[in-house]
Chains A and B, each alone.
Chain A
Amino acid sequence: MKKDILAVLSVLLLLAVVVNGTDVQSIDEYYLTHIDDVTPESETVTISIRCDAVLDHYDQLDPALRSDEFVPPDGVILPPTEYVLREGDTVFDLLDRAVRYNKIQMEYQGSDQNGFGSVYIQGIHYLYEFSCGPYSGWMYRVDGVYPHYGCSSYVLRDGQVVEWVYTCDLGRDVGADWLGGQGK
């Protein structure tokens, strides 16, 4: 008798474990909810967001922003983070995903709202263009190179590393040599 009950209980327990660990989903649902899972086969890209330059130009910074809340003491707003590369992902798509997933404030001007025909990033983490002097704003580099193009025109490839950096000097303070020999 006792044995019976024991057997029945263990079957129940096993069932509960199995059911709990199983997602009951269609294939589409599975792909939708696991699109960001990094597996050995997935193509990935890495993104980081930093504002070190502000630390060196604190005197130029808008007084309202002079706080660790807006400018982290180590300059890191987002450490290098790996994301699955989705087909057609641009630098902007990746940034948008990263700031959403990490709840970082971001404001941008859509590609239909300016003459570049590309998204323009106005502010990240409450640091806006001109927040730290007339030559300040956000720039990005891919694999160490600053492209001449808007972030929504740059389609990413597997393994690329994107860095968003805040400049206080039109890129010179963050190693952008794309000024074509200007004003060095």
Chain B
Amino acid sequence: MSAKKLLSAALCVLLVALTVCAGLPATAADERIGSAIWSVEAFTVGGGFLVEPTELPIYAGENAADQLLRLLRQSGLVCYFGGTADDAFYLAYIADGTSTRAKFNRYSGSGRPQNARELRLSPSIPAVLLPHLRDTMVFFDPDDYEKNWTGYLGEFVFTNGSGWMYTVNNDFPGVGFSDTFLSDGDVVRVQFTLAYGADIGGLGATGGNAPGVGNQPASGYYPVANKDALCKTICKALSAGSLSGGETKNAYADALAAMAAPDASQDRVDNAARALADALSKPSDVPPPPKSDEPSVAVSSAVTSEPSAPSETVSASAPPVSEPPDTPSEPPVSNPPETPSTPPEPDTPGDANDPPVPVSDAALSVADGILRWKKAENGSPADGFLLNDAFLASAGSTAGDWYPIGLDRLGISDNFDGYLAVLTDRIEERYREPGRLSAAKATEWHRIALAMLAAGGDPTHAGTDENGNPIDLIADGTYDRGKTAPLGRQGLNGWVWGLIALDSMRYDVPADACDTRDGMIAEILRQQLPDGGFALNGTEADPDMTAMVLQALAPYRDSDRVYAEAVKTVPDAIEDALACLSALQLDAGDFASWGTENVESTDQVLIALCCLGIDPLTDARFCKNGHTLLDGILRYRLPDGGFAHSFAYDPNNPTASPGESNAMAGEQTLLAMAALWRQQNGLHTLYDFRPEEDAEPQENATVRFDDADREAADSLPDTLTTAYEATVTSLLDKLLRSEDFDGKAAYLQKLTDAKATIAAIRAEIDALNAEIRETLYPFDRLTVRDRETVDGIFERCMALSEYDRTQIERFDDVQRAKTQIDGALRGRLLAVVLCVAAAGIAFCLVRRVRKRRKRRETEREELAARYETGEEP
């Protein structure tokens, strides 16, 4: 510890003290406009009042979130919340006041209060709740709090449907704390729910559609009494402080018992309130106990809830599908933590009496919702391109390629030219690496080939390789894949997607190819399981794998050929696989894969049926309990238009949010909607990219490098960063294809230079990342001798633009290494300086001492001389 450090610490303390002092008078100056009674209740877990009913002043301009934060602070507790007090405040956890975490599960903490206290919960869930929870909850563990959450009570504790909700005057507000402004005399009860409010009379408040909420009985678990009056009376009793008198004591105990019973009848609650009020009005027989100096706090309950999802959507009645309402008719309660600011635009709520919407329109509208969500996520305006420059960065990856496929198959135009330009660039780049697109996975070629077709390109001429030959993704990725690595190296997926890619344009397989079409079909058929299904491995069918096999085999469904010994014909194999899938379908119309109910499996089955020419909405084999595949898919739709992968909650990983819109769920549902829309409109199946029979032959329209393009090129900054990679690539591609115009050469020069500059930056980033990995670690081996290397890396990082520097992996480690070496160097320098100084001082000292001695000697001699002369006058 250096002295500097101590000094800084002292300064910090001083500063904090000053800040605190300065902050104090502010609140007091605000105008008080009334008071509300607040309580914080954990009765559903047998935890009583976390904050007993208390009167809390309301200051002008203060919303319920401000009040709640104040209440908890003065009660010595901490809360963790999403949003801010002013906007989209979401109460996620109430925690021990001693909790020192700045954040908990991504939620911000309210800071340690002065009189911090612990929750001290020993939960015991009332018996009346247990059977309901066991029946309706995906996850329920009565010991969860002690096991995983001690000191933190909030969302996902005990069940997948738990969290904090609140009532104002016994009404669950349709909005969050930030948007609630209280009036004098309001009673606010913040209550812990285990079941989306079904246990506290507030199920409707969650919009009825939080993940898994469909399992809850519509009217809640039992009727829940209005306990506001009781709460008020308890508040009065507490502030009167006279609870020890015999009658009062009993009445108070009864009142608490009525509060604590989740299903207490209204009569019982009213009687308890009346009895307590009566007891209080009588003169007490015992002097009131001294009031504790801990301010008791009143809390009202605001209900925060799960993000509300669309209500169970479309009733399963087959063909006509009414568009699922995007938002419940009442505004969703509170703010979903993840999507705080932009509520989805309400679609027309599906009314039972509305005329049925044609399926293909329904499919389009679901697809629109997905695109709306994806655009919002992507930073594109709702009417802009999904494939904007930010999106183009993911061209050629699994994150990018499926969306353009979905868009094209839905007949929606977008920035396909830009996508194709960047995709081609990436392919050429990757073809220069040893494994080309991938050493292990042939499916890289298959997905990219489909994306290329969707974007209007030709996968057999996907750019040129280092020798100037055209890159043929179909050959290299399917029938000739075996020249580099077996097509089936990654298992069944390699064969299935190879066949799908090969049949996307019914490409011919040359006679000298490594694998033939028939061979691929035979390989797939060989892997059929005894139950009729298919799986990556193992002996039980997986719905996704089975469905994808059906998509691949669909073109051969009428063939009675025997492809290999001891395998079924394709039609037989298809029938068995369909029977297997039908048996796997769940009651809600969806499927589970790897133990999790999810939307993607359901999407794949729907696509498979469409590829086979089966109407997925009317086929009796795929209608369970009145629920079709589409119903099964729409279960996962969220208010933002996107889709959740699953609503299953994983207690092992409370930080992963199961009910959030998810990229893979969105893209696969987009494809499913495209498959359905194509079927309804009599178009080729999803992965059949051959031109439609009646399609106009495509004209080779001349490309113009128009004003917008020129402006985009002109506005490129002088200092380029890799952020402009996609823009430059797509502009240059367009320019190269465009007809001549004045100044084309100048643009060509500019864009070619820009592309080279960016490529150089990219190379520098890659080199730096490799050097950092190579030279910085382990830190304890770094010495002053490495100074030059580390300084060099640091300076090169700093020479990058701010954007490019974000692509340096672990730049913090570079800083750390530099700091360490600088520190060591400074230490050494200091040591040298001090030593030199000390040596100088020592030298002076010695000289002075010597001088003094010499002087003394001289004096002595003089004295002696004088003495001698004195002796002999």
Contact surface of A with B, Cβ cutoff 8 Å: 1, 4-5, 8, 11-12, 15-16, 19-20, 22-27, 29-30, 32-33, 35-36, 87-88, 96, 100-103, 109, 112-117, 128-131, 134-135, 142, 145, 147-149, 153-155, 169-170, 172, 178-184
Contacts and interface: CB of A to CB of B under 8 A. Distances in A.
Given A16-B835, A154-B653, A130 B490 contact: yes
A104 B121 CA distance: 45
A25 B820 CA distance: 9
Contacts of A112: 393-394, 397, 399
B838 A11 contact: yes
A177 to B, nearest CB: 9
30 contacts: A4-B849, A11-B842, A12-B835, A15-B838, A16-B831, A19-B827, A19-B830, A19-B834, A24-B830, A25-B819, A25-B823, A26-B8, A32-B812, A32-B819, A88-B103, A96-B809, A100-B776, A100-B810, A101-B779, A103-B773, A112-B394, A113-B397, A115-B664, A128-B439, A130-B441, A134-B488, A147-B652, A169-B537, A181-B540, A183-B540
Contact of A147 (B102, B653, B831): B653
A148 B384 CA distance: 35
A115 B2 contact: no
B823 A180 contact: no
Nearest to A11: B838
A87 to B, nearest CB: 7
B838 A113 contact: no
A131 to B, nearest CB: 7
Interface of A is mostly: loop
Contacts of A170: 536-538
B662 interface: yes
A102 to B, nearest CB: 7
Contacts of A24: 2, 823, 826-827, 830
A179 B595 CA distance: 6
A118 B134 CA distance: 32
A114 to B, nearest CB: 5
Nearest to A19: B831
A148 B830 CA distance: 54
B366 interface: no
Contacts of B594: 148, 178-180, 182
B819 A182 contact: no
B214 to A, nearest CB: 21
Nearest to B664: A115
A149 B653 contact: yes
Contact of A134 (B105, B491, B777, B819): B491
Contacts of B806: none
B489 A155 contact: no
Contacts of B127: none
B827 A100 contact: no
Contact of A26 (B4, B653, B773, B779): B4
A169 B103 CA distance: 39
Nearest to A111: B399
Contact of A23 (B491, B663, B827): B827
Closest 9 CB pairs of A and B: A180-B595, A183-B538, A134-B491, A115-B664, A130-B440, A8-B842, A19-B831, A113-B397, A155-B655
A131 B441 CA distance: 11
Contacts, number: 176
Contacts of B141: none
B603 to A, nearest CB: 12
B650 interface: yes
Contacts of B664: 115-117
Contacts of B101: 87
Nearest to A130: B440
Contact of A153 (B4, B488, B656): B656
Given A12-B839, A112-B394, A184 B653 contact: no
A1 B850 CA distance: 8
Interface-centre pick from A109, A130, A147 (highest chain B CB count, 10 A)? A130
Given A4-B845, A148-B596, A135 B399 contact: no
Interface of B: 2, 4-5, 8-9, 101-103, 105-106, 393-394, 397-399, 402, 439-441, 488-491, 535-540, 542, 592, 594-596, 650, 652-653, 655-656, 662-664, 667, 773, 776-779, 809-810, 812-813, 815-816, 819-820, 823, 826-827, 830-831, 834-835, 838-839, 842, 845-846, 849-850
Contacts of A19: 827, 830-831, 834
Contact of A184 (B397, B489, B538, B663): B538
A112 B85 CA distance: 32
A131 B831 contact: no
A142 B826 contact: no
Given A4-B845, A20-B827, A113-B399, 11 more contacts: A16-B831, A100-B810, A115-B399, A115-B664, A128-B440, A134-B488, A153-B653, A153-B656, A155-B106, A169-B537, A180-B592
Contact of B652 (A29, A100, A145): A145
Contacts of A169: 537
Nearest to A137: B440
B835 A15 contact: yes
A116 B540 CA distance: 24
A100 B777 contact: yes
A128 B835 CA distance: 56
A171 to B, nearest CB: 10
Nearest to A156: B655
A129 B827 CA distance: 47
A23 B394 contact: no
Contacts of A113: 394, 397-399
A153 B655 contact: yes
Contacts of A178: 594-595
B838 A87 contact: no
B773 A100 contact: yes
Nearest to B820: A33
A154 B656 contact: yes
A135 B489 CA distance: 9
Contacts of B656: 147-149, 153-154
A109 to B, nearest CB: 8
Nearest to A146: B652
B5 to A, nearest CB: 5
A5 B664 CA distance: 79
Nearest to A20: B831
Given A101-B778, A183-B537, A115 B846 contact: no
Contact of A4 (B820, B838, B846): B846
Interface-centre pick from B402, B491, B539, B594 (highest chain A CB count, 10 A)? B594
A142 B778 CA distance: 25
A103 B653 contact: no
Contacts of B820: 33
A170 B493 CA distance: 14
Contacts of B8: 26-27
A175 B777 CA distance: 33
A24 B8 CA distance: 14
A33 B819 contact: yes
A8 to B, nearest CB: 4
B199 to A, nearest CB: 27
B846 A8 contact: yes
A29 B826 CA distance: 13
Contacts of B846: 4-5, 8
Given A12-B842, A135-B537, A169-B537, A33 B834 contact: no
A111 B207 CA distance: 32
B773 to A, nearest CB: 6
A33 B823 contact: yes
Nearest to A14: B838
B770 to A, nearest CB: 11
A14 to B, nearest CB: 10
Contacts of B440: 128-131
Given A87-B102, A100-B773, A169-B537, A117 B662 contact: yes
A25 B838 contact: no
A116 to B, nearest CB: 6
B391 to A, nearest CB: 10
Contact of B5 (A4, A27, A33, A182): A27
